[in-house]
């Protein structure tokens, strides 16, 4: 079951609602990894692979395309965090990290690298499913906030473009602010474009008309 829709997008579902989640596990303790894998398989999760170190993490994530990544290393190093950071930048997904380290600086670095649920304890079959739920919930909440921020930035950018286009129309064509805005709105409706897109087009046209020699060879 695919739960991603492009980089960073993830449906807000818990593991109990979707037990067929595809998991990639990084664990340097073979016996522990085997117990966790068996527990997850019994709960109808799909364990794509279990790898003992973070050295092949990027390759495995690209090849396997897991829904959730679980990292359980006794001594996770900076290479693991770097790999997670690169993966998060290109195709983010929930990441659970189990580590005995309670170092606040390392935890902060892990979160910045893309870890969505940090557990300062060893992994165990009993704890892992709840941790997956936390990772999915926090990942979804983060994406919702990021989407809101992106929408706000886009709206602010479009507003600036509209204000600039209005100012240019008012200056060049000696019209009022209302007349300039109505011109932009009519152009947007006629061309089936957003007001921001229309404003950018108008700015480009008016800039070219004011500096006709700029495009000459």
Distance CA 107, CA 56 (A): 22
Q: What is the pLDDT of residue 24?
A: 94
- Asked if the structure places residue 12 within a domain, the reply is no
Answer yes or no: is 8 within a domain. Answer: no
Domain boundary among 112, 131, 148: 148
Residue 121: which domain range?
A: 22-148
> Domain containing 130 — which CATH number?
3.40.50.2300
CA angle at residue 112 from 110 to 114, to 5 degrees?
75
In total, the chain counts a number of residues equal to 217
Q: Are residue 141 and residue 185 in the same domain, yes or no?
A: no
Residue 204 pLDDT exceeds 60: yes
164 and 85 fall within a common domain = no
pLDDT (mean) for 132-158: 85
- The string of DSSP letters for 110-159 reads HHHTT-SEEESS---HHHHHHHHHHHHHHHHHHHHHHHHHHHHHHHHHHH
Q: 88 - beta bridge partners?
A: none
What is the sign of the dihedral through the CA atoms of 178, 184, 188 and 191? positive
| Plot region of 192 (φ>0 → left; ψ -120 to 50 → alpha; else → beta) | left
Provide the H-helix boundaries in the chain: 30-42, 57-64, 78-91, 104-112, 125-173, 177-191, 195-210
pLDDT category of residue 1 using cuts at 50, 70 and 90: very low
pLDDT digits (tens, 9 = 90+) for 73-132: 877 677 888 888 998 888 789 999 998 777 788 889 989 998 999 988 888 888 888 899
Sheet holding 117-119, edge to edge: 46-51, 22-27, 68-72, 95-98, 117-119
Residue 8 is encoded by which pair of tokens?
Answer: 């960073």
Structure tokens at 190: 């006629």
**CA atoms in the 13 A half-sphere facing the CB of 92:** 23
In a domain, 2, yes or no: no
Total structural domains within the chain: 2
Model pTM greater than 0.85? no
Round to whole Å and give the CA distance between 34 and 29: 9
């Amino acid at each position: 079951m695919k739960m991603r829709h492009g980089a960073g997008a993830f449906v807000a579902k818990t593991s109990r609602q979707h037990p067929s989640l595809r998991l990639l596990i990084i664990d340097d303790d073979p016996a522990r990894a085997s117990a966790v894998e068996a527990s997850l398989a019994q709960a109808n999760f799909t364990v794509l692979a279990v790898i003992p170190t973070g050295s092949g993490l990027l390759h495995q994530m690209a090849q396997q395309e897991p829904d959730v990544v679980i990292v359980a290393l006794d001594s996770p190093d900076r290479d693991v965090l770097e790999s997670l950071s690169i993966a998060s930048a290109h195709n983010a997904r929930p990441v659970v990290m189990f580590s005995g380290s309670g170092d606040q600086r390392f935890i902060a670095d892990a979160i910045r690298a893309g870890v969505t649920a940090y557990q300062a304890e060893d992994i165990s079959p009993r704890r892992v499913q709840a941790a997956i739920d936390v990772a999915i919930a926090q990942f979804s909440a983060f994406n919702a906030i990021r989407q809101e921020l992106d929408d706000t930035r886009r709206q602010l950018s479009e507003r600036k473009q509209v204000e600039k286009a209005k100012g240019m129309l008012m200056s060049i064509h000696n019209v009022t602010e209302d007349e300039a805005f109505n011109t932009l709105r009519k152009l947007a409706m006629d061309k089936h474009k957003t007001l921001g897109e229309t404003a950018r087009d108008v700015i480009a046209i008016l800039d070219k008309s004011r500096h006709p020699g700029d495009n000459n060879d």
